[in-house]
Structure 1
Amino acid sequence: MKLSSFPLASKHSAIVLVIALLSILAFVWEYFIGNSIAQAFFYQRNLIIQGELWRLLTGHLLHTNGYHLLLNLTALIMLWALHGRFYTIKNYSALFLFCCLSTSVGVFYSSPSLIQYVGLSGVLHGIFVYGAIMDIMSKDKTGYLLFLGVWLKIAHEQIYGAGKDVSNLIEANVAVDAHLWGAIGGLFFTMVYLFFIKLKSKK
């Protein structure tokens, strides 16, 4: 694939870059300066109950270790390479924030035993769903395979759990429910987004 074929325009890549840089900065601060940033911003159920609602968003930018960060940033970049042409600063920002909230709120209410959570993986599942649907709407048949594949993966995780290898690598249990709620958030956002695009085109 040639470099020119990547969605390099700022409207397609700016927010992806910002998310990647914030995640890297948070990791560098936590592991080389001190872990106070993690203590203040990760998803912590008991503190959210006490009113620290910002954790519903900020926890997604933190990671358990370097492998966790690398896995999530790799997925973030791969999704941009696949579907970045569908991103704009406005829609990607809204998609990202909505998937952050759908993941955190979904986990909060459906998985009360999950006390702490960090990482982008739930949000990335929502972004994946958005891209697959946009592929479908653009008459790209691979979108159907991607859409089916992500839901089969989620179903497998819900039934059998996540692989032990990944858990060992990131030094934490994989929060499979976060993947589910992130994907549901991405699906809901995309349906609403397409509805408003259709509505706008009729005016």
Structure 2
Amino acid sequence: MLQLKPLPTQAIHSVGALLVIILAVIAYLFDEQIAWLFIYDRQLINSGEYWRLLTGHFFHSNGNHLLLNISAVVLIWALHGQYYVHKTYFFTVLICALVCSAGIHWWSLDITQYVGLSGVLHGLFIWGALMDIKHKDKTGYLLLAAVIGKVIHEQIYGASADLEQLIAANVATDAHLYGAIGGLLAFVLYILKASKR
């Protein structure tokens, strides 16, 4: 029988997700003043502004985009927050963000600008599903299959036109793929580090 997990409300499990939300909200509130300095912009990254590989993920195309991503942060925290500790969460977000941005930069040359947490969120979802599996929680297999199916579907058929209309931007489905790969890499690195303790 399926049982709901208690929400991981302890500070050690919540601070990371809360900080990601706060950074995204600040980026949204001050978008007009600071976005030009921080969003992912291929040309400016090529000229040496490498911080954009990380910071661009915290900006969004509009309020709907922000709310969708904040909701996803909360949902993923509710599903897998029991595995979060500060260092692990920030490390996973960092790896997912950098792998996502690197993938866009090297292999999705049609994307010249990118904003949003969705690539990172796909990575966090993969990481959490794999942690479920590691901890013998069978729902991890279902969640992993669902996100892999979603990524494959998007690679074949593209994103929903309704979603693109809602966020007033093209959905960078490649970012979801690269973010998912980042989540897998973060999990492998986590396991390797844990095995050395």
Query: What range is the shorter-chain TM-score in?
Result: over 0.9
Aligned partner of 2:102 in structure 1 is: 105
Counterpart in the other structure of 1:55: 52
In structure 2, distance between residues paired with 1:41 and 1:91: 24
1:190 aligns with 2:187: yes
CA drift of 1:60 comes to 0.4
Which amino acid is the alignment partner of residue 14 of structure 2?
A: S
Give the TM-score, by structure 2 length: 0.96
The answer to whether residue 155 in structure 2 is matched with residue 158 in structure 1 is yes
Alignment of 1:116 onto 2:113: yes
Q: Confirm or deny that 1:46 pairs with 2:46.
A: no
Quote the sequence identity (%). Answer: 50
Q: Could you report, residue by residue, the CA deviation over 1:77-114 in whole angstroms, capped at 9, with x for unpaired residues?
A: 00000100000001001000111100000110001110
Displacement over 3 Å in runs of 4+: none
- Secondary structure of the residue aligned to 2:196 is helix
Which of 140, 144, 151 does residue 141 from structure 2 map onto? 144
Counterpart residue identity of residue 33, structure 2: S
Inter-partner Cα distance in structure 1 for 2:33 and 2:98 = 23
CA distance in 1, matches of 2:134, 2:196: 16
1:194 CA drift (Å): 1.1
Aligned residue for 1:20? 21
- 2:63 paired residue number: 66
- Report deviation, 1:29: 1.5
| TM-score scaled by length of structure 1 | 0.93
User: In the TM superposition, what whole-angstrom CA distance separates every residue of 1:2-33 from its partner, at most 9, and x where no partner exists?
Assistant: xx921111111111111101111111112xxx
Deviation at 1:42, TM superposition (A): 0.3
Q: Which residue of structure 1 aligns with residue 173 of structure 2?
A: 176
Residues in 1 aligned to 2:53 and 2:99: alpha-carbon distance in whole angstroms: 9
Q: In 2, distance between residues paired with 1:25 and 1:188? A: 29
Find the residue that maps to 1:5 and give its secondary structure: coil
Q: Name the SS for the 2:132 alignment partner.
A: helix
1:46-96 deviation per Cα after TM superposition (whole angstroms, max 9, x unaligned): 000000001000000000000000000000000000100000001001000
| Equivalent-residue separation in structure 2 for 1:156 and 1:147 (angstroms) | 14
Report deviation, 1:36: 2.8
In structure 2, stretches of 5+ residues that fail to align are none
Amino acid paired to 2:196: L
C-alpha distance in structure 2 between counterparts of 1:89 and 1:10, whole Å: 9
- Mapped partners of 2:27, 2:196: distance in 1: 40
Cα distance in structure 2, aligned partners of 1:142 and 1:8 = 21
2:6 aligns to what? 5
The two structures, once aligned, show a CA RMSD in angstroms of 1.0
CA distance in 2, matches of 1:119, 1:162: 15
Pairing 1:75–2:75 present:
no
Output the CA distance in 1 between the equivalents of 2:6 and 2:184. Answer: 27
